[in-house]
Structure 1
Amino acid sequence: MKERNIGIDILKFFAALLITNSHMELLYGKYSVFATGGAIGDVLFFFCSGFTLFLSRMGRFDNWYKRRINRIYPTVFAWAILSAFFFNQHQSMDYTIIHGGGWFVTCIMIYYVVLYFIQRFMLHHLKWVFGIVTLICIVWYFIMDRPENYNMYGATYFKWGHYFLFMLLGAMIGISQKQWNFNLKTDFIKLIGSTFIYYAILFAGRKYPLFSEFQITSLIPLLFIVYYFYKVCSSNALKKWYTNKYIGWVIKFVGGLCLEIYLVQYSLFTDKMNNIFPLNIFIMFFIIITVAYILRCAGRIFSQTFKDGEYNWKAVFKLT
């Protein structure tokens, strides 16, 4: 099972890159069209979460959910403190708990509740669950009121529904005993093809109102993107990257900061370095990674402060 998780670690690395790049429109200036990949980065993260979730010990719900809270909320609270001191962002306690991690954290904490009961009572019927959720999403999409220039991946609660499909896909593949055939060349071509179709549907939807009504069909190539992205990341060629002393360290370090990167990036973007484009992209990414690591350390300090025992500073500053 550990061998299979290597592909997930590599996938988290690409998820972190895509999530960061998608919010860099300010840095690209007139080249903002290249700031993309946000939806793909989000679904890769949901897929990874679903993949690993059912592989761990579940137990009683309250204790299991407590572990999920302990994994995420020390970082959320630490960021609320840091952002108040350094970015003048003052949030109330109720806002921090419900919205402090953005829609992403709120959404995934709700998903955890639903997935726990799916794991306990419908573990062997995940395909049926996937089908039911798909049907709910289709009905939801066509009965809701969609404004002009509607974007189903934008600021809308509908994405809270269809993103759940990707956690279920991750769970199904994670518990599958199937012997997967990983072919880097073939899977990479299929990944590129699925990505092209996905963006073609979105582009057509923005340009032609008729196609916009059916942008929900973009979920089909997006599911294939995630599937083939996982297969590419699980290929022997990329696993060699992972086992390389230096490349592997970067993959594990950046991939392990997915949550922290998502939380810190919005407060850091600036167009003050746009005169040195594209160098500003790399500088900003380095800044985001650095602040994300500081946040992770702060989150660990916050977590240890409210536990019995002495501080474990080695664990606080652990890089990977």
Structure 2
Amino acid sequence: MNKTRDISIDILKCIAAIVITNSHMELLYGKYNVLATGGAIGDVLFFFCSGFTLFLGKMGRFDNWYKRRINRIYPTVFAWAIMGAFVFGYHYDMKYTIIHGGGWFVTCIMIYYIILYFIQHLMLHKLKWVFGISSILILVWYLAMNRPADYNMYGATYFKWGHYFLFMLQGAMLGISQRKWKFSFTNDLLKLLGCIIIYYMILFAGRKIESLNDWQIISLIPLLYITFYFYKVCNSEVLKQCYRHPITGWWIKFIGGLCLEIYLIQGALFTDKMNSIFPLNLFIMFFIILIGAYILRCLSRLFAQTFRTQEYDWKEIIKMT
């Protein structure tokens, strides 16, 4: 992977972490909770980043490759189970922790890893075909469903386990692509904003007009373009300069590196006790979540090192970026 791509994905992970947090802050917005949207956008950006980096290195034998994926994710999941039990009073058995301890997001991505491993070995140069076939299967799945009037395809339903796979494939295709893209912060940002407006117009129309709700599957099209233009914006020289700046670059790497921890811990920390100072409460709450996420990451590193034969590396445990 070249340096430009390293930078763009770090920036994109930072944006994903911020958007994911914002989308779950309905409690903090009070009467302005209509602004607390974007959960799907944050999720697809994270899936895109995972897919982007997945095929860039050698995968090797499946068991060893999948073991490395487990070692990257599950120390944090187990650390969160421990932290949740001792700090927040959560009590989950081992079966729940392994399968659901990281939420649907972690379970989903661990399944995607298995599928993508075999795609990489068997159809690496036919990813467009895989994307097309996956799109058709998802459309058939959607049309065959018995959907209630208030159905939300981005909500608590297994259908999202299907359509989010498209964004991981999208990331994989761009990750291995040798195409030289032209990046323009202004033009790409305007296109990004246009796609976001179209995306929310489709969802808003479906909520207001019952007959249009069955057409919300179309929202995947602007959502795919949103992901693509986010990627292009993150490759622009403007954001690359921000990344290279010692202060803004440090924050980008710090927040982006805590994306998984932020996703896991945020629900336990939200409170509406500061709603009287809206919107300042949003910034305070995000800072609190960052602190909690950093503590969780330190605990996950401590947990992982405890089961190794080497001595503890405390600098590595408390490292911030």
Could you state the TM-score of these two structures normalised by the residue count of structure 1? 0.99
- CA offsets, 1:193-226, max 9 Å, x none? 1000000000000011121011000000000000
Inter-partner Cα distance in structure 2 for 1:3 and 1:233: 10
Q: In the alignment, does 2:273 pair up with 1:272?
A: yes
Matching residue of 1:217 = 218
What pairs with 1:1-320 in structure 2 (closer than 5 Å)? Answer: 1-320=2-321
How many angstroms apart in 1 are the aligned matches of 2:26 and 2:249? 29
Displacement of 1:36: 1.1
CA–CA separation in structure 1 for the residues paired with 2:253 and 2:94: 32
Q: In structure 1, what is the Cα distance between the partners aligned to 2:98 and 2:267? A: 18
Q: By how many angstroms is 1:151 displaced?
A: 0.3
- Specify the code of the residue in structure 2 equivalent to 1:7: S
For the 8 Å contact 2:53–2:172, the answer to whether it is kept is: yes
Q: Which runs of 5+ in 1 are unaligned?
A: none
> Distance in 2 between the 1:97 and 1:211 partners?
39
Task: Output the amino acid matched with 2:256.
Answer: G
Query: What SS is found at the alignment partner of 2:311?
Result: coil
Q: The residue matched to 2:153 in structure 1 has which SS? A: coil
Give the secondary structure class of the aligned counterpart of 1:165. helix
Q: Report the AA paired with residue 77 of structure 1.
A: F
Q: Deviations over 1:96-115 (max 9, x none)?
A: 00000000000000000000
Among all aligned residue pairs of Structure 1 and Structure 2, give the percentage whose two residues are the same amino acid: 70
Residues 136-178 of structure 1: CA deviation (Å, up to 9, x unaligned): 0000000011112000000000000000000000000000001
Q: Residue type matched to 1:286 in 2?
A: F
1:2 deviation in Å? 2.3
Rounded Cα–Cα distance in structure 2 between residues aligned with 1:192 and 1:277:
25
- Matched residue SS, 1:122: helix
CA distance in 2, matches of 1:238, 1:181: 14
Which whole-Å CA distance do the structure 2 matches of 1:103 and 1:251 have between them?
26
Native 8 Å contact 2:56 2:176 kept in 1: yes
CA deviation digits over 1:77-119, x for unaligned, max 9?
0000011011100000000000000000000000000000000
How far, CA to CA, are the matches of 1:126 and 1:139 in structure 2?
20
* Letter in structure 2 aligned against 1:218: S
**Separation (CA, whole Å) in 1 of partners of 2:104 and 2:146:** 21
1:60 partner amino acid: R
- Matches of 1:87 and 1:9, distance apart in 2: 30
Once residues 82 and 230 of structure 1 are traced to their aligned partners in structure 2, the CA distance between those partners, rounded to angstroms, is: 34
| Cα offset, 1:57, TM superposition | 2.1
Q: List structure 1 segments (4+ residues) > 4 angstroms apart after TM superposition.
A: none
The aligned amino acid for 1:49 is: S
Equivalent residue pairs, number? 320
Distance in 2, matches of 1:275 and 1:221, equals: 35
Q: Tell me how far apart the structure 2 counterparts of residues 59 and 2 of structure 1 sit (CA, whole Å).
A: 24
* CA RMSD across the alignment: 0.6
Check the 8 A contact 2:149/2:213 in 1, yes or no: no
User: Which amino acid counterpart does residue 227 of structure 2 have in structure 1?
Assistant: V
* Distance (whole Å) between structure 1 residues aligned to residue 308 and residue 63 of structure 2: 18
Mapped partners of 1:152, 1:187: distance in 2: 27
